[in-house]
């Protein structure tokens, strides 16, 4: 095998004291998912504990009568147990019970049980009840059929190569890893659907996609595809893709009938329409709702859903135009349509109004949309956060987003409340992450980037987990429980996002990256471009005025957020330059001027990277040599890159402002 199993690469624990539970596994049911649960427990027991578990099949009629049970583990389907993928694990008198209303719960419980062993936790007296908060917990892969990955930083696709779909051992191992952290939906192809990818819905790919869907299903994962809104033209030979045209509707209905017959386990489709050159309903003067609903009708007979991205904006903006504001786009396009979407349509909303920057406010659509299914889209592919060459653990960012109070009601108004469905009593909702995996032997290029994959799944399942808890979990599963390792790795992870923010673009302004590849500093890289991403820096200050005097974006938030963002004095400082043009001499709450804050934070960011390297250095003998070296190499590059960021940003602002650094450090 030319790849590791990441956090499922089990280490042998010869001294683990509670092996005995694993001698016998009692199980009802022989469905695919339960079989996977059995397989996972047996595999864990064998690889970690060296035990060959005896599997005892129980008749389905055997009920709850605990008097009859013997020592061992019981996988027990209980219609009164936790549902929706939830599970209960408890130990009682030498017996470990994993109970759930559905097989998915048994699978997740089994992974959790093994995780407890990996983490060397005691099982005696164990009592866990876990119910996933988000109904949909999805990964979006931006994989192309030629094997490349858009914004992929970990090698090639393991789903596609040379226009073929790949289904094999790696597909199954991928499904194991994803399911182990609770992922239950996967979009395998790029949202930019062109050329051959348009044909994924045709019979040409039916056999391989059906097989992939089956592999996924065994692990409780639904297969989804991205689709091309112009398929009626490109595949069907129609003259139009107008969602209101009868022939278009009929074409989609016929095509979906065929597609779902070909791939029975298909969950539905992800659609990027009217964005960055992709076709969509706007071409035909139709609304986004008309486009989405038309597709929703076509997939409805098969239980399919349409996940419609809200990433719609004018990408041919004139940089001279200070009125148009890309940050407003999603809100302006979709807010008026609240309530117009069919029940099997879900709007997938990026966490912020721009595009996965290191710091953005939360999208104002959250809390504003009350009659629409919503998925929160985040990006664990580190497109703008170091591209898996820099360590940047993003779970703390996601936690902040989930915890944001939208003020849509007095309580239970956070993003987490909304996307779980409980705020507005909706069922089709959840979280999606743009995936960070590829064919690299460690799946994620940077070994520490696997914490983002792991963490996203765990967080989507259980948003109340803290970022530190997740880091520790991942670290213990990946590197074992050595306290020094866990301490250092967790510290590295928890330092990493703040460090990245310090040495890159300041206080929410974002961008300042090289165009196209989005890597490395270029302060003016997007300043005079068409993408609506400006910093407006001049001799006296920097920032985009998004209050009432500017683009008015601050007013798209519910009160009191709108008022808080409206004024520089009340605006959270980490977002200050996102919402306001601020003079370099403006005094921050820290008592530093803005320009001094820029200088200081950039020096600090580099120092943080040096600390991170120091922490990693201390693990030389404590983590596998291959991983140590691989991470070390990337950290050395990160240091060099962070120096480049520091010096370019500081030089840019010094040359522009001519305000010297108070501490007299070298600025070029």
Question: Catalytic residue numbers?
Answer: 276, 355, 383
Q: How many residues does the chain have?
A: 668
E strand residue ranges, 103-258: 127-130, 136-140, 160-161, 164-165, 185-187, 222-227
Least CB distance to its own copies at residue 519 (A): 13
Instruction: Please report how close the Cβ of residue 15 comes to its own copies at its closest, in angstroms.
Output: 53
Give the one residue of 423, 537, 544, 575 binding its own copies; rule: CB under 8 A: 537
How many other β-carbons are positioned within 10 Å of the β-carbon of residue 491?
15
Kindly tell me which of 529 and 573 has the beta carbon lying closer to its own copies.
529
Strand-pairing partners, residue 433, are: 139, 378
Stretch that binds its own copies, among 82-90, 270-278, 350-358, 643-651 (CB under 8 A): 643-651
Site residues for its own copies, 74-113, by CB under 8 A, read: none
| DSSP 8-state symbol, 302 | G
* Of 482 and 522, CB closest to its own copies: 522
Query: Among residues 126 and 523, whose Cβ is nearest to its own copies?
Result: 523
Best CA proximity match to 271, nearest among 233, 309, 222:
309
Residue 647 sits in the site that holds its own copies (CB under 8 A): yes
What is the nearest approach in angstroms of its own copies to the Cβ of residue 655?
4
Alpha carbon distance 107, 84 (integer Å): 12
Confirm if 68 and 56 have CB atoms less than 8 A apart.
Answer: no
644 part of the interface to its own copies, by CB under 8 A: yes
Phi, psi of 541 (to 5 degrees): -175, -175
**What gap in Å lies between CA 404 and CA 400, rounded to an integer?**
6
- How far is the C-alpha of 187 from the C-alpha of 663, rounded, in Å? 51
Residues 275 and 314: beta-carbon distance below 8 Å: no
Q: How far apart are CA 517 and CA 152, in angstroms?
A: 11
Rounded to whole angstroms, how far apart are CA atoms 51 and 54?
9
With contacts defined by CB under 8 A, name the span among 261-269, 356-364, 603-611, 650-658 that binds its own copies. 650-658
> Which residues between 434 and 463 bind its own copies (CB under 8 A)?
none
For its own copies, which is the closer residue by CB, 67 or 666?
666
Q: Which of 523, 562, 575, 615 binds its own copies (CB under 8 A)?
A: 523
Contact 74, 113 (CB under 8 A): no
Phi-psi region of 485 (alpha: psi -120 to 50; beta: other; left: phi over 0): alpha
Q: Does 482 sit near its own copies (CB under 8 A)?
A: no
| Rounded CA separation 333/355 (Å) | 16
Residues 418, 430: Cα–Cα separation, whole Å: 9
Contact yes or no for 87/81 (Cβ under 8 A)? yes
Q: Is 544 in the site for its own copies (CB under 8 A)?
A: no
Do residues 563 and 572 make contact, with C-beta atoms less than 8 angstroms apart?
no
Residue 648 contacts residue 521 (beta carbons within 8 Å): yes
Contact 311, 275 (CB under 8 A): yes
- Give the whole-angstrom CA distance, residue 659 versus residue 542: 14
CA dihedral 61, 65, 68, 70 (to 10 degrees): 100
State in angstroms the smallest separation of the CB of 13 from its own copies: 49
CB of 641 to its own copies, least distance (A): 13
Interface residue with its own copies, options 71, 538, 629, 662 (CB under 8 A): 538
CB of 580 to its own copies, least distance (A): 17
Return the range that interacts with its own copies (CB under 8 A); candidates 180-188, 278-286, 524-532, 606-614: 524-532
Instruction: Write out the binding residues for its own copies, residues 283-302 only, by CB under 8 A.
Output: none
Task: Give Cβ neighbours of residue 619 (< 8 Å, ≥ 6 apart).
Answer: 484, 485, 488, 489, 628
Among 540, 587, 633, 660, binds its own copies (CB under 8 A): 540
Nearer Cβ to its own copies (333/654): 654
Nearest residue (CB) to its own copies, 70 versus 655: 655
Q: Which stretch binds its own copies (CB under 8 A): 128-136, 147-155, 285-293, 521-529?
A: 521-529
Is 539 a binding residue for its own copies by CB under 8 A? The answer is yes
Contact 13, 49 (CB under 8 A): yes
To the nearest whole angstrom, how small is the minimum distance from the Cβ of residue 516 to its own copies?
A: 9
Q: In terms of CB distance, is 52 or 655 closer to its own copies?
A: 655
Closest CA to 377 of 185, 231, 148: 185
- Please choose, out of 83-91, 93-101, 146-154, 535-543, the segment that lies near its own copies by the rule CB under 8 A: 535-543
**CA–CA distance from 204 to each of 207, 214, 216, 263, 650 (Å)?**
8, 18, 20, 12, 54
CB of 544 to its own copies, least distance (A): 14
User: Among residues 515 and 614, whose Cβ is nearest to its own copies?
Assistant: 515
Among 138-146, 472-480, 580-588, 642-650, the segment contacting its own copies (CB under 8 A): 642-650
Tell me how far, at minimum, the Cβ of 379 lies from its own copies, in Å.
25
Among 23, 202, 522, 555, binds its own copies (CB under 8 A): 522
- Which CB sits closer to its own copies, 54 or 321? 321
**336 by DSSP, 3-state: which?**
helix
In order of 36, 75, 81, 90, 659, the CA distances from 58 in angstroms are 17, 10, 18, 19, 77
For 265, which DSSP code? T
Q: Is the peptide bond before 560 cis (omega within 30 degrees of 0)?
A: yes
Q: How many residues bind its own copies (CB under 8 A)?
A: 25
Residue 536 CB, shortest distance to its own copies, in Å, is 8
Q: How near is the Cβ of 533 to its own copies at its closest, in Å?
A: 15
Sole binder of its own copies in the list 17, 30, 54, 524 (CB under 8 A): 524
Q: Which stretch binds its own copies (CB under 8 A): 145-153, 255-263, 347-355, 652-660?
A: 652-660
For helices 395-402 and 467-479, what crossing angle results, to 10°? 150
Q: Which stretch binds its own copies (CB under 8 A): 144-152, 201-209, 229-237, 515-523?
A: 515-523
Exactly one of 658, 660, 662, 665 binds its own copies (CB under 8 A); which one? 658
What is the contact mask toward its own copies in residues 569 to 598, using x (rule: CB under 8 A)?
A: ------------------------------
Q: Which range touches its own copies (CB under 8 A), out of 42-50, 347-355, 381-389, 513-521? A: 513-521
* Interface positions, 314-343, toward its own copies (CB under 8 A): 319-320
Smallest distance, Å, CB 667 to its own copies?
A: 10
Among 655, 660, 662, 665, binds its own copies (CB under 8 A): 655
Rounded to an integer, what distance in angstroms lies between the CA atom of residue 249 and that of residue 236? 12
Which residues of this protein are in contact with its own copies, per CB under 8 A?
A: 319-320, 514-515, 521-525, 528, 537-540, 644, 647-648, 651-652, 654-658, 668
């Amino acid at each position: 095998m030319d790849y590791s199993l990441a956090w499922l690469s089990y280490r042998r624990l010869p001294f683990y004291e509670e092996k005995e539970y694993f001698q016998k596994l009692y199980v009802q049911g022989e469905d695919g998912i339960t079989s996977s649960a059995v397989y996972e427990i047996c595999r864990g027991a064998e690889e970690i504990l060296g035990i060959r578990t005896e599997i005892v099949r129980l008749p389905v009629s055997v009920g709850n009568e605990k008097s009859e049970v013997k020592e061992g583990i019981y996988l027990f389907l209980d219609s009164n147990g936790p549902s929706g993928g939830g599970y209960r694990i408890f130990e009682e008198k030498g017996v470990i019970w994993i109970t759930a209303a559905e097989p998915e719960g048994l699978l997740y419980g089994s992974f959790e049980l093994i995780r407890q062993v990996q983490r060397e936790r005691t099982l005696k007296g164990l009592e866990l009840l876990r119910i996933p908060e988000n109904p949909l917990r999805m990964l979006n892969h931006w994989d192309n059929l030629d094997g490349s990955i858009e914004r992929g930083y970990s090698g090639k696709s393991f789903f596609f190569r040379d226009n073929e779909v790949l289904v094999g051992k790696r597909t199954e191992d991928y499904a194991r890893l994803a399911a182990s952290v609770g992922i239950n939906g996967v979009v395998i192809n790029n949202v930019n659907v062109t050329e051959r990818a348009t044909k994924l819905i045709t019979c040409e790919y039916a056999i391989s996609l059906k097989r992939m869907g089956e592999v996924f299903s065994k692990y409780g994962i639904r297969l989804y595809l991205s689709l091309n809104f112009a398929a009626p033209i490109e595949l069907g030979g129609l003259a139009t893709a107008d969602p209101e045209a009868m022939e278009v509707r009929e074409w989609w209905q016929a095509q979906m009938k065929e597609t779902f017959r070909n791939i029975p386990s298909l969950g539905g489709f992800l659609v990027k329409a009217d964005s960055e050159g992709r076709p969509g309903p706007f071409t035909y003067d139709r609304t986004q709702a008309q486009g989405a609903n038309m597709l929703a009708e076509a997939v409805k007979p098969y239980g399919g859903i349409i996940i419609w991205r809200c990433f719609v904006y004018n990408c041919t903006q004139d940089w001279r135009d200070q009125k148009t504001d890309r940050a407003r786009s999603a809100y302006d396009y979709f807010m008026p349509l609240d309530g117009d979407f069919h029940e099997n349509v879900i709007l997938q909303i990026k966490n912020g109004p721009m595009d996965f920057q290191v710091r953005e406010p939360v999208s104002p659509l959250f809390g504003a949309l009350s009659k629409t299914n919503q998925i929160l889209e985040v990006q664990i592919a580190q497109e703008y956060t170091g591209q898996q060459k820099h360590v940047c653990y993003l779970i703390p960012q996601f936690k902040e987003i989930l915890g944001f109070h939208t003020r849509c009601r007095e309580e239970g108004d956070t993003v987490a409340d909304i996307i779980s469905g409980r705020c507005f009593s909706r069922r089709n909702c959840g979280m999606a992450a743009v995936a960070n995996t590829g064919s690299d032997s460690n799946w994620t290029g940077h070994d520490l980037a696997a914490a983002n994959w792991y963490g996203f799944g765990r967080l989507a399942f259980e948003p109340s987990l803290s970022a530190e808890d997740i880091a520790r979990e991942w670290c213990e599963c990946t590197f074992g429980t050595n306290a020094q390792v866990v301490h250092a790795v967790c510290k590295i992870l928890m330092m990493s996002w703040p460090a990245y923010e310090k040495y890159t673009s300041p206080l929410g302004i974002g961008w300042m990256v090289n165009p196209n590849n989005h890597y490395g500093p270029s302060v003016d890289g997007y300043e005079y471009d068409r993408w609506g991403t400006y910093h407006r820096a001049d001799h006296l200050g920097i920032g985009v005025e998004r209050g009432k005097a500017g683009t008015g974006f601050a007013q798209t938030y519910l009160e009191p957020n709108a008022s808080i963002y409206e004024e520089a004095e009340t605006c959270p400082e980490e977002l200050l330059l996102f919402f306001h043009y601020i003079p370099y001499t403006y005094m921050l709450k820290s008592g530093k001027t803005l320009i001094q804050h820029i200088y200081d934070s950039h020096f600090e960011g580099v120092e943080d990277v040096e600390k991170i390297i120091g922490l990693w250095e201390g693990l030389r003998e404590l983590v596998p040599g291959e991983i140590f070296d691989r991470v070390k190499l990337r950290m050395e590059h990160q240091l060099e890159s962070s120096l480049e960021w520091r010096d370019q940003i500081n030089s840019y602002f010094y040359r522009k402002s001519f305000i010297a650094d108070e501490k007299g450090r070298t600025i070029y």
